[in-house]
Structure 1
Amino acid sequence: MARRILICDDDEDILSICTYILEEKDWEVHTRNHCKNIVETVQEIMPDIILMDNWIPDIGGIKATQAIKSTLSISHIPIVYFSANNDVKALARVAGADDFLAKPFDIEDLERMVTSVLEK
């Protein structure tokens, strides 16, 4: 069974690149360029991991991450916060994310992060 990932980012280029990289690794990739109805979206997809951008339309990455983490049925899903903000580590902590990845990142960084979070 393919592993599922949900990527929330308003940058279509990032979504395209991440989708391409992860589909090459046999991931089932779901993308959203907003955080509308994020809890329902996550419950519907039930990903193995979520990549969450900080500056995403509607409620933003922090509130979206907090909404997921405070919903019992999906709170166990690991969230990797990723942002070009130079304070991404602090933002990830405030959001309650499991880990973080600073943008720009290279392909190996992305693959390593996803693998390490899933192995925890």
Structure 2
Amino acid sequence: MKKKVLIIENDRDIRDIISYVLEDNGYEVIVAEPRPVGRLHTYNPDLILLDEWLNEREGQLLCTELKDMHETKHVPVIILSTANNIEEIANICKAKGFVNKPFDLDELQRCFSAEAEQI
């Protein structure tokens, strides 16, 4: 059974690239809007890839909400961001990891491969 990755990313080009890379590596990819947060668990993802900046709102707030919800607290979240302090942000919102934007495709694949081994 394929692992499911839920992508919540504003930039369509980035979403398309990540989707292509993940699908090419055998993942099932689901793209969703960040709201309503209470419905995100219905996708039953194995991993969530979350943009740090979502429509004038910080993705870390959504990450914190996901980690506070019983249905999604166990799902690893990886934050994508251009923020200089992304490692600190990831720790504060209990994300499993982070990827700096702009990212190298090989770096992105390594990140998901490492995480996939744990899920």
Instruction: Calculate the TM-score normalised by the size of structure 1.
Output: 0.90
Report the equivalent of 2:89.
91
Work out the CA distance in 1 between the residues paired with 2:57 and 2:67: 15
Counterpart of 1:4, as a letter, is K
Counterpart position of 1:66: 64
Aligned residues: 118
| Corresponding residue number in structure 1 for 2:49 | 51
Q: 2:75 aligns with which of 68, 71, 77?
A: 77
Identity across matched positions, percent: 29
CA distance in structure 2 between the partners assigned to 1:23 and 1:117 by the alignment: 15
User: 1:19 is aligned with what amino acid?
Assistant: S
Name 1:11's counterpart in structure 2: 11
Alignment correspondent of 1:25: 25
Which amino acid is the alignment partner of residue 20 of structure 2?
Answer: Y
CA RMSD of aligned residues (A): 1.4
C-alpha displacement of 1:18: 0.4
Deviation, 1:57, is 2.0
In 2, Cα distance between equivalents of 1:58 and 1:8:
14
- Post-superposition shift, 1:39? 3.1
Residue identity in the other structure for 2:34: C
Q: Give the TM-score normalised by structure 2.
A: 0.91
Deviation at 1:51, TM superposition (A): 0.7
One-letter identity of the residue aligned with 1:96: K
Counterparts of 1:4 and 1:84, CA distance in 2: 25
5+ long unaligned stretches in structure 2 = none
Counterpart amino acid of residue 6 in structure 1: L
Q: Deviations over 1:52-75 (max 9, x none)?
A: 111012653111101110111221
Structure 1 position 87, deviation (Å): 1.3
Structure 1 counterpart of 2:36, which letter?
N
Give the letter for the 2:100 counterpart.
A
